[in-house]
Structure 1
Amino acid sequence: MRFRIFTEPQQGASYDDQLAIAQATEKLGFDAFFRSDHYLAMGGAGYPGPTDAWTTLAGLARETESIRLGTLVSSVTYRPPGILAIQVAQVDQMSGGRVELGLGTGWFAEEHAAYGIPFPAKRFGMLEEQLEIVTGLWETPLGERYSFAGEHYSLTDSPALPKPVQERIPVIVGGLGATRTPAMAARFATEFNLPFPDFADVSDKFAGVRAACETLGRDPQDLVYSAAFVAATGANDAEVARRAAAIGREPAELRAHGLAGTAAEVVDRLGALQADGVDCVYLQMLDLHDLEHLDFFAREVVPQLR
């Protein structure tokens, strides 16, 4: 099982805050540093204000050496697919081939209103076309041109540059839907992610994606199966309660829906998730200044599951 650190900088974090946690992520042996792609805090002021996900990852690409870097997830409403393909490929070059792209429909209407970003009511079609365009641009052979004509986007004779370092940048598609999301993951993704699922639903959700792969004639084992959960762990109940309080949550609620509790409790929970097919876990660390939390997880939990 692989472990990735997943942050929500729109809640209040500077670039330097993110650099500190990304470098701790690398030093402690986690697989990757991921961040959300949002421009507005969800409750609270969000000081010092938002930071752009791909601008941030470009900086981190030059200030880290080994960890994977990506978004969970970028919204199709923020960037035209041609521009997104350029940005991600460039950051892949800057990182020496360590980038991954999580892409979704977007959902937070208020941030679109706050920054004048159009927010169409129907976005699944946009997601499907963006996935096809972005991967198509990257995969177009050097020297050839790429064109696309769809309902939402049209590209004509694109040089499809720049090219990423990786032969194929991993693409993450996620969600809890029963039909369209599994079908898109089966068609375009290298990884399928469940964002904060009920534990009892994990196995069935993955089964739906495997079925979608089989329908397309794709080997379901080609996909990585991952899930994201809020983390609040500690050496004892008092530490768990302190970390839960720091992010405005209750320990009992986090134990029921996230990765919360002592190391032994969390190892048991992760073992059950592994049995349900989870290959990779995104640990949502909401207190970006609590680097001791990462250290505790790396020392007390990770070695028991690798």
Structure 2
Amino acid sequence: MDLRIFTEPQQGATYDDLLRLAVATEDAGYDAFFRSDHYLVMGESTGPEAGLPGPTDAWTTLAGLARDTTRLRLGTLVTSATFRHPGVLAIQVAQVDQMSGGRVELGLGAGWYEAEHTAYGIPFPPTRERFDRFEEKLAVITGLWSTPVGETFDHHGEHFQLRDSPALPKPAQRRVPIIIGGMGKRRTPELAARYATEFNVPFQPLDGVRTQFGRVRDACTAEGRDPEELVYSAALVLCCGRDERELGRRAGAIGREPDELRRNGLAGTPAEVVEKIGAYAEAGVQRVYLQVLDIADLDHVELVAAEVAPQLR
């Protein structure tokens, strides 16, 4: 089982906050550090001072981490397709991949959080149009990256038109991994079957994971693709403590209750967390993104690396 650290910086974090956690993640032996791509705090505290000092841009952050780390794979879970033109995003991701020496992964989704679009003047089309744009973005980004050097790329779609693009720069990797996820019943699995190297189910119980993985496997078969080519992953809130007192302290720090987290996340002692990850593995999960909500608690990621990860090898 592959464990990755996953953060939500829109809740309040500077670049230096994220760098400290990323370095701790690397030092603890994890293989990857991911962040969300959001511009507005979520949850009960949504006033003008919520989420101070304010949002950090996902790809600006990853560019910095590309130079300030040496081994970690870096990516988004997930970048909103509403935020950036596909041609610009293809350039950004390719450049960060070069800056990191080929350590970048692109999680991409249709976008869903309307309030952040309103707050920053970003258009937020209806659901169907967002998925149409998402699908076109996947076609444009992968088309630009796969165009041989010296040739040009054209795209004549409903929402995006590119003509005589030099399709540069190229990523350092031959193929940047693309992560698609969510619980959509039809288009999400279809797009994953066509474009993804990994499919992610976020914050779902075991039954939901099994059901959605089944849809993706069926979509791969319909597309003529081997379902085993994909990595199947899940994202879950992490709250691990050596004992009940430490668990309660960590749950309180993120405004949650231990019992609720035990039901809905990866919570409990290291032994409990190992057991629950084992249940997800039986449901087909090969990789888990550990959502760390208290990014100042470096001991948390070190505890899991020392007492959970070794039991999963």
TM range, normalised to the smaller chain? over 0.9
How many equivalent residue pairs?
A: 306
Distance 1:60 1:89 in 2: 15
Q: Which letter does structure 2 place at the counterpart of 1:101?
A: L
1:252 maps onto 2:259 in alignment: yes
Q: Is the 8 A contact 2:98 2:172 kept in 1?
A: yes
Distance 1:176 1:238 in 2: 35
Distance 2:132 2:236 in 1: 28
Distance 1:216 1:134 in 2: 20
Q: Is the 8 A contact 1:199 1:257 kept in 2?
A: no
1:48 maps onto 2:53 in alignment: yes
TM-score w.r.t. structure 2 length? Answer: 0.97
RMSD over equivalenced CA pairs, Å: 0.7
Q: Secondary structure at the match of 1:281?
A: strand
Q: Secondary structure at the match of 1:27?
A: helix
Number of the residue aligned with 2:202: 195
Q: Is the 8 A contact 1:53 1:71 kept in 2?
A: yes
Q: Secondary structure at the match of 2:238?
A: strand
Q: Is the 8 A contact 2:206 2:283 kept in 1?
A: no
Distance 2:224 2:140 in 1: 22
Give CA-to-partner distance per residue, 1:142-173, whole Å, 9 cap, x none: 00000001111111111000000000000000
Number of the residue aligned with 1:33: 33
Number of the residue aligned with 1:140: 147
**1:10-159 alignment, distance < 5 Å:** 10-43=10-43, 44=45, 45-121=50-126, 122-159=129-166
Number of the residue aligned with 2:301: 294
Long gaps (5+) in structure 2 = none
Q: Is the 8 A contact 1:174 1:192 kept in 2?
A: yes
Q: Which letter does structure 2 place at the counterpart of 1:60?
A: L
Distance 1:29 1:277 in 2: 24
Give CA-to-partner distance per residue, 1:70-128, whole Å, 9 cap, x none: 00000111000000000000000000000000000111111111111111113000110
Q: Which letter does structure 1 place at the counterpart of 2:164?
A: D
* 1:49 CA displacement: 0.7
Distance 2:161 2:251 in 1: 47
* 1:199 CA displacement: 2.0
Number of the residue aligned with 1:303: 310
